[in-house]
Chains A and B, each alone.
Chain A
Amino acid sequence: MKHTITAIVGNKVGVLARIVGLFSSRGFNIDSLNVGETDNPNLSRLTIVVNGDDAVLEQVRKQLGKVIDVLKVSDLTNQPYVERDLMLVKVNAPPGKRNEILEVVDIFRGKIVDVGQKEMIVELSGTEDKVAAMLKLLQPYGIKETARTGQIAMLRGTK
């Protein structure tokens, strides 16, 4: 089953390699991995989305907690949480098609962040489903490039 795991880690050499190693050594493919600084510049927050056997993932979660520079680990799966994925997509946009594309982007509450001669860059954030849905609608115009942050997530409320 799909798990969303977040971890607060110290910004130290080798932490990320150790964390990734815990998954790869067990043959798990990480679906997405996001790392970003927290409000404390010495700490980063990681969000890992991975598919796998629940019992094995529970073991991985415990092993993650043992990594010396990991301060906190939570498996958000089965808890109420907010998730977002941010995507930049460069789509073919000859002048005649621009209005159509704008409409699609509007429906998803995306933003045009750059317009060139023949293409534009669209920014969209949302759940993975929403991002995937817009991508599908943009496909017919010809997608030149995409960049995604992968999922970031946070528990709702205080806990």
Chain B
Amino acid sequence: MIEGRRTRKGCGYIYIFNFGTFAEVSKDFLNKMAKTGAQILIDTLINQGVEYVFGIPGGAVLPLFDTLYSSPIKFILTRHEQGAGHAADGFARATGKVGVCMVTSGPGATNLTTAIATAFMDSVPIVAITGQVKTNLIGNDAFQEADVMGITRSITKHSYLVNRLDDLPRIIHEAFYIASTGRCGPVVIDLPVDITMKCSDSAPPGAIDLPGYKPRYYGNPRQIKLAAEAINKSKRPVLYTGGGIILSGCSQELLELAEKANVPVTTTLMGLGGFPETNSLSLGMLGMHGTGYANHSVQESDLLIAVGARFDDRVTGKTDEFAPNAEIIHIDIDPASISKNVQVDIPVVGDAKNILIELVKHVRFEERKEWFDQINEWKEKYPLSYDNKGDDVKPQYVVEQIYEATNGNAIITTEVGQNQMWAAHYYTFTRPRTFISSGGLGTMGYGFPAAIGAQLGCPDKTVIDIAGDGSFQMNIQELATAVHYKLPVKVAILNNGYLGMVRQWQELFYNKRYSHTRLHDNPDFVKIAEAYGARGFLIDKKKDVRPVIEEALSIKGPVVMDFKVTAEENVFPMVPTGQAINRMIGGMA
């Protein structure tokens, strides 16, 4: 439908296809000094320091892609727009920079929505540029039209529909600024095709104009003092830290605070890597699949210091029984997070890094011998453990071996389900931006394209997607992307032949009625990998686990490792939904 004639004239091409003939702008094309909207967009992206853009072309973005063709921006063609969005997100999480994706109108944009929602839930800075039909056709059910502003409203931090070419530079600068400041998040720019073809010789520089947007960066000094006093007098404090530590880049400050004040630290799933799990103050992860010692410590604490965490229901379990005797300090950049789920006693709103820098100055070392004795007792009584006696390949063992083979230096992305929790439990995370996972939305199919984005952002790192057999098949087509761009990403499928996490719930709470969770006719993943031009390995013996991982790591291109793991292994400990988090099952009662 979009084939057409292309002629060169004036400052750019004129496209003649059924999106319109644009005769109305042809006089602009004669102005040789002018730039097209497409050119302005690409120049502004370059000006923003954008190196990679992920996406798929289409009719409404043809002018943009034509301009990209001769620009220094490296465009990464994925095989599905969801893959492009997750790759931009993985790039952002691995590097701390804004991830950018560009897709066509209608189906291109709707395909992107899951990725936008994923980024929104985990506060990831991405800018999504979606093509739109011509301005005068908007609202007419035009070919490949979708109301992208409407569809994405509740899953974006902000969104723009560009009505005038003159607004474009400002909108792009604002989008990057909004995405990457305050509580980060995705911003959509919906860009009608005629705007990209219009010419302007006087495009304004585009100064940011956002009088209503004032993120608060510094905590109120009085609140910080109150927090410090509470910490100093607490007998059983716990630091509960989330993804905000990573977004704010304050793991160093967190370490200083924990060590100076002598306070144990538990992290959420999103916070993994924000505090070194090798440190003796680390309690590992808390919540539904938290460690026994983290959950008991939180429940018995007299002071909970939440930093960049949002009291998600997967963390708190039953909220009225969450940390029942604790006073709560909540440090967060988002004022709407304060007292949302759990009543907070000392809120401190601002950027975690700035607040921790101040807080460290006011705390003092307290020994808290009784508290640490108690915690050590829990650590001994409830270690994370699994039965590794048999010959079968345990998923936990695979993750441990990946950890050892990479010396803990890899970037791990995950899919969703049991694979995600085993990755969280059995890989020891010590550095920020090394654990990349869809926490808030729990999007199956996230991990592999995210690994592609992370690999592009961090070319010298080993990037491994710890995957499930179900999830991997949700974006398996991105193997073509990894092969095409020669990205050495590794996929470790913990292949249990099930939608394992759902099966686990069916086993525990639905009488083992495995309703539609069997994946017994999975494809041959080795052959699939090979068909795409990647390498594939099947591992069904424990003794082969480590050697195959080593071999895969030595291969320069993408590799799929299909680990046939114990089919009905469960993730423990586990807190059934709606229970207090010390009511764990799996030997942790």
A13 within 8 A of B: yes
The closest CB in chain B to the CB of A66 belongs to B336
Contact B211 A71 (CB under 8 A): yes
Cα A13 to Cα B149 with chains together (Å)? 10
Residues of chain B contacted by A25 (CB below 8 angstroms): 154
- B213: interface (CB < 8 Å): yes
CB-defined contacts of A17 to chain B, threshold 8 Å: 149-150, 153
Q: A9-B212, A14-B161 are in contact. Are A65 and B153 (CB under 8 A)?
A: no
User: Nearest Cβ distance between residue B47 and chain A, in whole angstroms?
Assistant: 22
**CB nearest neighbor in A for B340:** A59
**Contact in complex: B212, A21 (CB < 8 Å):** no
Measured between beta carbons, the chain B residues less than 8 angstroms from A66 are 334-336
The answer to whether A68 and B336 have CB atoms under 8 Å apart is no
Chain B contacts of A71 at CB under 8 A? 211-212
Interface contact A68-B157, CB-CB below 8 Å: yes
Interface membership of A152, Cβ < 8 A? no
Question: Counting chain A CB atoms within 10 Å of each CB, which of B150, B153, B163, B178 scores highest?
Answer: B153
Q: Is A62 an interface residue (CB 8 A)?
A: yes
Say whether A14 contacts B159, CB under 8 Å: yes
Indicate if the CB atoms of A13 and B336 lie closer than 8 Å.
no
Partner of A68, one of B150, B158, B161, B334: B158
Q: Give B178's nearest chain A residue, CB to CB.
A: A68
Chain A 39-76 interface residues, beta-carbon cutoff 8 Å to B: 59, 62-63, 65-71
Within B183-221, which residues are at the interface with A (CB < 8 Å)? 210-213
Q: Within 8 Å of chain B (Cβ to Cβ): is A126? A: no
Binary interface encoding of chain A residues 29-42 relative to chain B, with 1 for a CB under 8 A from any of its CBs, else 0: 00000000000000
Distance in Å: Cβ of A102 to nearest Cβ of chain B:
47
Contacts of A65 in B (CB 8 A): 335-336
Say yes or no: B150 contacts A10, CB within 8 Å.
Answer: no
Q: Which of B149, B153, B210, B336 contacts A62 (CB 8 A)?
A: B336
What's the minimum C-beta distance from B439 to chain A, rounded to whole angstroms? 20
Chain B residues contacting A13 (CB-CB under 8 Å) are 149, 160-161, 163
In the complex, what residues of B have CB within 8 A of residue A14's CB? Answer: 149, 153, 159, 161
CB <8 Å contact, A70 and B161: no
Within residues 63 to 90 of chain B, which ones have a CB less than 8 A from any CB in chain A? none
How far, in whole Å, are A13 and B163 apart by their CA atoms in the complex?
10
CB distance from B440 to the nearest CB of A (A): 16
**Which chain B residue shows the least CB distance to A67?**
B212
Quick one: closest B residue to A72, CB to CB? B212
Nearest opposing residue in chain B for A13, CB measure: B161
Residues of chain B contacted by A59 (CB below 8 angstroms): 336, 340
Give chain B nearest CB distance to A7 CB in angstroms: 10
A9 to B211, CA, bound (A): 10
Q: A68–B153 contact, CB under 8 A?
A: no
Q: Which residues of B have CB within 8 Å of A68? A: 157-158, 178, 210, 212-213
Question: What interface size band does chain A fall in?
Answer: 10 to 19
Task: Say how far B216's CB is from chain A's closest CB, in angstroms.
Answer: 11
Chain A positions 101 through 119: 1 when the CB is less than 8 Å from some CB of chain B, otherwise 0: 0000000000000000000
B-side contacts of A69, CB under 8 Å:
212
- Judged by a CB distance under 8 angstroms, whether A18 is at the interface is yes
**Minimum C-beta distance from B388 to chain A (A):** 46
Question: What residues of chain A lie closer than 8 Å to B178, measured between beta carbons?
Answer: 68
Instruction: Name the distance in Å between B351's Cβ and chain A's nearest Cβ.
Output: 16
Residues of chain B within 8 A (CB-CB) of A9 are: 212
CA distance A106 to B424 in the complex (A): 74
* Min C-beta distance of B339 to chain A, whole Å: 8
Q: Which residues of B contact A67 (CB under 8 A)?
A: 212
CA–CA, A114 to B335, complex, Å? 50
Q: Which residues of A contact B153 (CB under 8 A)?
A: 14, 17-18, 21
Closest chain B residue to A62 by CB distance?
B336
Residues of B within 8 A of A70 (CB): 212
* Distance between Cα atoms of A18 and B149 in the complex (Å): 10
CA–CA, A32 and B212, complex, Å? 24
Nearest chain B CB to A72's CB is how many angstroms away?
8
Q: How would residues 7 to 41 of chain B score, 1 for a CB under 8 Å from any chain A CB and 0 otherwise?
A: 00000000000000000000000000000000000
Residues of A within 8 A of B338 (CB): 62
Once the chains bind, are A10 and B211 in contact (CB under 8 Å)? yes
Cα distance, A68 to B160, chains bound together (Å)? 11
Bound-state Cα–Cα, A62 to B334, Å: 9
Residues of A within 8 A of B340 (CB): 59
Q: Given contacts A59-B336, A68-B178, are A10 and B161 in contact (CB under 8 A)?
A: no
Assuming A21-B153, A68-B178, A69-B212, is B335 touching A62 (CB within 8 A)?
yes
Q: Could you tell me the distance in whole angstroms from the C-beta of A16 to the nearest C-beta in chain B?
A: 11
For window 334-354 of B, CB contacts with A under 8 Å fall at 334-336, 338, 340
Complex Cα spacing A27 to B161, Å: 27
Cα separation A59 to B336 with both chains bound (whole Å):
7
With A and B bound together, what is the CA distance between A17 and B147 in angstroms? 13
Q: With A68-B178, A70-B212 in contact, is A21–B158 under 8 Å at CB? A: no
Given A59-B336, A65-B336, A66-B336, residue A21 in contact with residue B154 (CB < 8 A) = yes
Taking CB atoms and an 8 Å cut-off, the chain A residues in 67-97 that contact chain B are 67-71
* Residues 133-157 of B contacting A (Cβ, < 8 Å): 149-150, 153-154, 157
- Write the nearest CB–CB distance from B158 to chain A, whole angstroms: 5
- Taking the closest CB of chain B, its distance from the CB of A26, in whole angstroms, is 11
**How far, in angstroms, from A87 to B154 measured CA to CA in the complex?**
34
What's the Cα separation between A63 and B438 when bound, in Å? 23
Contacts of A18 in B (CB 8 A): 153
The residue of chain A having its C-beta at the shortest distance from the C-beta of B174 within the complex is: A68
Bound complex: CA A9 to CA B336 (Å): 18
> Known pairs A14-B149, A21-B154, A68-B157. 8 more at Cβ < 8 A?
A10-B211, A13-B160, A13-B163, A25-B154, A59-B340, A65-B336, A67-B212, A68-B213
* Interface residues of A, Cβ cutoff 8 Å to B: 9-10, 13-14, 17-18, 21, 25, 59, 62-63, 65-71
Q: Which 7 A-B pairs rank lowest in CB-CB distance, beginning with the nearest? A: A62-B336, A71-B212, A68-B158, A69-B212, A68-B213, A70-B212, A63-B336
Between A and B, 29 residue pairs with Cβ closer than 8 Å are A9-B212, A10-B212, A13-B149, A13-B160, A13-B161, A13-B163, A14-B153, A14-B159, A14-B161, A17-B153, A18-B153, A21-B154, A25-B154, A59-B340, A62-B335, A62-B338, A63-B336, A65-B335, A65-B336, A66-B334, A66-B335, A66-B336, A67-B212, A68-B157, A68-B158, A68-B213, A69-B212, A70-B212, A71-B212
